[in-house]
Structure 1
Amino acid sequence: MIRRSVFLSVVSVALLSISSFADAAETTTRFDPRGTEFGNLVIASVTDLDFMQPLISAFQQSNPGVAVTYIEDTSNNLDASVSSACSDRVFYADLVISSSIAQQVRLVNGGCARVIGSPVLSSLPDWAQWRGELIGLTYEPAVMVYNKAAFEEDGPPRSRFDLIDLMRQSGKLNGRIATYDIEDSGVGYLFAFQDSTEASTWGRLIEGFGRNSVATFCCSSEVIDRVADGRAFIGYNVLGSYALSRAENDPRIGVILPSDYTLVLARAGYIPREARDATAARAFLELALSPQGRAILDGETRLLTPLSGPAALARLSDDDELTLRPIPLSPALLVSLDRAKRVRFLSQWRKSVTPPSP
Structure 2
Amino acid sequence: MKLKKRLLSIMMAGVITASAIFATGCGSNEAASSENGEKADKGEITVYTALEDEQVSTYLAEFNKKYPDIKVNVVRESTGIITAKLLAEKDNPQADIVWGTAASSMMVLDNQGGLKEYAPEGVDRILPEFKSDKEVPTWVGIDAWETAITVNTVEAEKLGLPEIKSYKDLLDPAFKGHIVMSNPNSSGTGFLTVSAILQLMGEEDGWKYLEDLDKNIAQYTHSGSKPAKMAASGECAVGISFGYAGLSQKKDGAPVEVVFPEEGSGWDLEANALINKKEINPAAYTFLDWAISDDAMELYKVNYPIITTDNVGTYEGYENDPIDQLIDNDFSWAAENRTSILDEWMKKFDAKSEPEE
> Shorter-chain TM-score: what band?
0.7 to 0.9
Q: TM-score, normalised by structure 2?
A: 0.74
Q: Is the 8 A contact 1:335 1:341 kept in 2?
A: no
Report the CA distance between 1:219 and its aligned residue: 1.0
Asked whether 1:38 is paired with 2:42, we answer yes
Equivalent position SS for 1:220: coil
Report the CA distance between 1:192 and its aligned residue: 0.9
Q: 2:109 aligns with which of 78, 82, 107?
A: 107
Q: 2:165 aligns with which of 158, 179, 191?
A: 158
Equivalent position SS for 1:55: helix
- Segments of structure 1 that go 5 or more residues without pairing to the other structure are 1-36
The aligned counterpart of 2:285 is 282
- After superposition, the Cα gap between the structure-2 partners of 1:325 and 1:78, relative to the gap in structure 1 and judged at 3 Å, is same
- After superposition, the Cα gap between the structure-2 partners of 1:155 and 1:341, relative to the gap in structure 1 and judged at 3 Å, is closer
Letter of the aligned partner of 2:255 in structure 1? R
Q: Is the 8 A contact 1:101 1:187 kept in 2?
A: no
Q: Is the 8 A contact 1:242 1:302 kept in 2?
A: no
The aligned counterpart of 1:179 is 181
The aligned counterpart of 2:24 is none
The aligned counterpart of 1:141 is 146
Give the number of aligned pairs.
306
Letter of the aligned partner of 2:169 in structure 1? D
Work out the CA distance in 1 between the residues paired with 2:311 and 2:152.
25
Letter of the aligned partner of 1:298 in structure 2? K
- After superposition, the Cα gap between the structure-2 partners of 1:105 and 1:78, relative to the gap in structure 1 and judged at 3 Å, is same
Q: Is the 8 A contact 1:127 1:327 kept in 2?
A: no
Work out the CA distance in 2 between the residues paired with 1:69 and 1:275.
20
Equivalent position SS for 2:309: coil
Question: 1:195-234 residue pairs with structure 2 within 5 A?
Answer: 195-200=197-202, 202-203=206-207, 205-234=209-238
- Segments of structure 2 that go 5 or more residues without pairing to the other structure are 1-40
Work out the CA distance in 1 between the residues paired with 2:229 and 2:85.
28
Q: Is the 8 A contact 2:144 2:269 kept in 1?
A: yes
Work out the CA distance in 2 between the residues paired with 1:179 and 1:126.
33
Q: Is the 8 A contact 1:146 1:156 kept in 2?
A: no
CA RMSD of aligned residues (A): 3.2
Q: Is the 8 A contact 2:180 2:217 kept in 1?
A: no
- After superposition, the Cα gap between the structure-2 partners of 1:309 and 1:241, relative to the gap in structure 1 and judged at 3 Å, is farther
The aligned counterpart of 1:6 is none
Work out the CA distance in 1 between the residues paired with 2:239 and 2:333.
28
Q: Is the 8 A contact 2:80 2:185 kept in 1?
A: no
The aligned counterpart of 2:78 is 74
Asked whether 1:270 is paired with 2:273, we answer yes
Work out the CA distance in 2 between the residues paired with 1:327 and 1:113.
24
Equivalent position SS for 1:183: coil
Work out the CA distance in 2 between the residues paired with 1:308 and 1:248.
26
Report the CA distance between 1:147 and its aligned residue: 0.6
Letter of the aligned partner of 1:40 in structure 2? E
Q: Is the 8 A contact 1:262 1:324 kept in 2?
A: yes
- After superposition, the Cα gap between the structure-2 partners of 1:189 and 1:264, relative to the gap in structure 1 and judged at 3 Å, is closer
The aligned counterpart of 2:194 is 192
Work out the CA distance in 1 between the residues paired with 2:112 and 2:216.
41
The aligned counterpart of 1:22 is none
The aligned counterpart of 1:52 is 56
Work out the CA distance in 2 between the residues paired with 1:254 and 1:51.
21
- After superposition, the Cα gap between the structure-2 partners of 1:286 and 1:156, relative to the gap in structure 1 and judged at 3 Å, is farther
Sequence identity percentage: 14
Work out the CA distance in 2 between the residues paired with 1:106 and 1:45.
17
Q: Is the 8 A contact 2:44 2:72 kept in 1?
A: yes
Letter of the aligned partner of 1:146 in structure 2? V
The aligned counterpart of 1:291 is 294
